[in-house]
Amino acid sequence: MRQNGPYLWATALIYQIVISASSHLCLASASAVGFGLPRRTLSAHSSALGGGSSCRRRQVVMINGEKKPSSILFVCLGNINRSAAAEGYMRSKRPSLHVESAGTGGHFAGAAADDDMQLAARQRGVDLSSHRARQVTDQDFVRFDMVVAMDSSNLRSLQQRCPAAYQSKLHLFLPKYASHLGLSDTPDPYYEGGHLRVFDIISQGIDGLIASEKL
């Protein structure tokens, strides 16, 4: 057994060198693709080290060195109109993305989406019939890559509740993703009506989010 010791030690050392090289190549590959270098050339070198599939997985979630969001929570007050519509429209555009919605208040918890918002969504080809309202939980700040507030009032509520480590996950919807509309807050049809107009505003914001975050 002692005679095999140096052999086993050398084998383990070589294995560690190969794994390390593969890991560095993955990182270089993800960065190089961002600079326009040929993906096929990088894949060939990666495969030679046995790291092809791992590199491809990393490239899916990396853009210019930044991780793409894979989960988004939309938040309004009651979670029966605006955030429900945002969730439904985003799901229709990006079915593979983990998308949910919630309200800062819990007064409508368990309720379906507002009938008028469901009608507006159907007119745009989106089904909200399975939606059930829920309230934001502390765990949401951990679970989701992005927490998007539909208006500044709900953003403040989230900021007051969110731990400091996760504050960077909070975003205000329209100013960031549909600034051309000139709206700070997504209108609340619960008080103002105009559900179809609000749904169309939200759709523009979602389209902007998809483009901005390269989803």
Please say if 161 is a catalytic residue: no
Name the nearest CA neighbour of 153 among 181, 185, 126, 176. 185
Please say if 162 is a catalytic residue: no
Q: Which residue out of 76, 114, 162, 185 is catalytically annotated?
A: 76
E strands in 55-197: 62-63, 66-67, 71-76, 98-103, 146-149, 170-172
Please say if 82 is a catalytic residue: yes
Residue type, 99: V
CA–CA gap between residue 134 and residue 137 (Å, rounded) = 9
Per the CB < 8 A criterion, the answer to whether 61 and 134 are in contact is no
Q: Which residue out of 26, 82, 114, 185 is catalytically annotated?
A: 82
| Angstrom distances, CA of residue 157 to CA of 26, 73, 91, 154, 172 | 40, 15, 25, 5, 12
Q: Which residue out of 114, 140, 185, 188 is catalytically annotated?
A: 188
Q: Which residues form the catalytic set?
A: 76, 82, 188
